[in-house]
């Protein structure tokens, strides 16, 4: 059967798509399958010609489970991320045995060139920071890391010169800092007044919205790329929601789950380059990645979304 030509743009919502399918007498189609070849949206790293897909993976949970579960689950999550068009993986050394096995996974032929590896330095002291970086290179089997960050501003005055040295030697393509708590925002703001990192990683979600006030606008004004952590508050978001159903009107902007509800609240912000999601379940990774597709909520819808969460 020949179907009429349909003009479907990136702003077509799932509801609009299904109504169109129904009007044309087409049923039994899975919109996810029909849009399967669509490329995950990406955003430019400020000041460069490089872009990153907008959904990534925070690897803490799956890497910490390697000792008891092996590497199959983390490999499956990474392959699901890549299959959906993602690339950014945020990680750092904490357990040598797990890290060595994780390094083997991210160095497998189908993953090595597909992933953008962001690591961290969380040590105190110049030599301790250098040792951690060298161990990262060795265990992750990479002479050059895509992004090296100072974790939670730890010993920042010492570690930041280390990072600048590694960028100068081309052992780090980009450098940055991370925070995951509002109490560090003032320190981060002071740092940004004197230094220009390539990236800032910061906590932001539909529940933790303080970054909207100053930090995200400041990063945007300074031309700093922003990676978001804690979109689900390390799982607390889901625990608070319990078994509540997602609002029916969320379908109007292609939102299928509470995970996507938070992600679709975050993603429209113009300062944001990539959002890290954390899971050890490939199906959840696929669900998270789908938040990148379809229509994003507008300002009025985002306000309505926040009101829902504020009542929980």
pLDDT, position 34:
47
Q: What is the CATH number of the domain that holds 130?
A: 3.20.20.100
Measured distance between the N- and C-terminal CA atoms of the chain, rounded to whole angstroms? 49
| 4 domain residue, yes or no | no
**pLDDT score recorded for residue 33:** 54
- Let me know if residue 97 belongs to a domain: yes
Least confident of 152-161, 162-171, 228-237: 228-237
In a domain, 305, yes or no: yes
Instruction: Report if residue 170 sits inside a domain.
Output: yes
Do the bridges between strand 55-58 and strand 88-90 make them parallel or antiparallel, or are there none, so unpaired? parallel
pLDDT value at residue 37: 62
| pLDDT higher than threshold 70 for residue 7 | no
* CB proximity list for 200: less than 8 A, separation 6 or greater: 176, 177, 178, 179, 188, 192, 215, 219, 224, 225, 226, 227
Q: Which range, of 14-28, 32-46, 63-77, averages the lowest pLDDT?
A: 14-28
Cα gap 139→144, rounded to integer Å = 12
Question: Does 278 reside within a domain?
Answer: yes
Does residue 259 lie in a domain region?
yes
- The verdict on residue 8 lying in a domain is no
Band of residue 22 on the pLDDT scale cut at 50, 70, 90: very low
Q: Which domain holds residue 192?
A: 42-310
Model pTM score: 0.89
> The tokens of 281 are what?
């379940």
Q: Is the pLDDT of residue 83 over 80?
A: yes
As a whole number of angstroms, the distance between CA 80 and CA 110 comes to: 12
| pLDDT exceeds 90 at position 120 | yes
On average, the pLDDT of the chain sits at: 91
Tell me, yes or no, whether 15 lies in a domain: no
Give how many domains the chain has, as a whole number.
1
């Amino acid at each position: 059967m020949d179907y009429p030509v349909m003009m479907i743009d990136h702003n077509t919502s799932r509801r609009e798509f299904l109504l169109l399918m129904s009007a044309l007498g087409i049923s039994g189609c899975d919109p996810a399958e029909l849009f399967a070849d669509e490329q995950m949206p990406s955003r430019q790293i400020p000041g460069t010609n490089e872009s990153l897909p907008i959904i990534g993976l925070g690897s803490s949970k799956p890497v910490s489970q390697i000792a008891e579960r092996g590497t199959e689950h983390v490999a499956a999550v990474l392959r699901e991320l890549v299959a959906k068009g993602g690339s950014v993986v945020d990680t750092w050394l904490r357990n040598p045995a797990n890290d060595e096995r994780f390094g083997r996974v991210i160095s497998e032929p189908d993953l090595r060139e597909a992933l953008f590896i962001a690591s961290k330095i969380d040590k105190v002291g110049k030599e301790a920071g250098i040792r951690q970086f060298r161990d990262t290179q060795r265990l992750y089997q990479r002479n050059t890391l895509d992004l090296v960050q100072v974790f939670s501003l730890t010993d920042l005055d010492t570690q930041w010169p280390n990072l600048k040295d590694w960028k100068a030697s081309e052992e780090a393509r980009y450098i940055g800092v991370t925070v995951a708590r509002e109490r560090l925002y003032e320190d981060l703001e002071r740092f940004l007044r004197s230094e220009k990192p390539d990236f800032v990683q910061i906590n932001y979600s539909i529940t933790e919205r303080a970054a909207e006030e100053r930090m995200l606008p400041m990063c945007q004004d300074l031309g700093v790329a922003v990676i978001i952590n804690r979109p689900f508050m390390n799982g607390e978001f889901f625990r608070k929601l319990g078994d509540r159903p997602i609002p029916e009107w969320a379908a109007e902007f292609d939102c299928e789950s509470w995970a996507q509800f938070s992600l679709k609240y975050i993603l429209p912000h113009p300062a944001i380059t990539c959002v890290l999601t954390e899971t050890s379940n490939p199906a959840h990774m696929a669900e998270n990645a789908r938040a990148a597709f379809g229509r994003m909520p507008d300002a009025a819808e985002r306000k309505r979304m926040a009101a829902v969460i504020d009542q929980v």
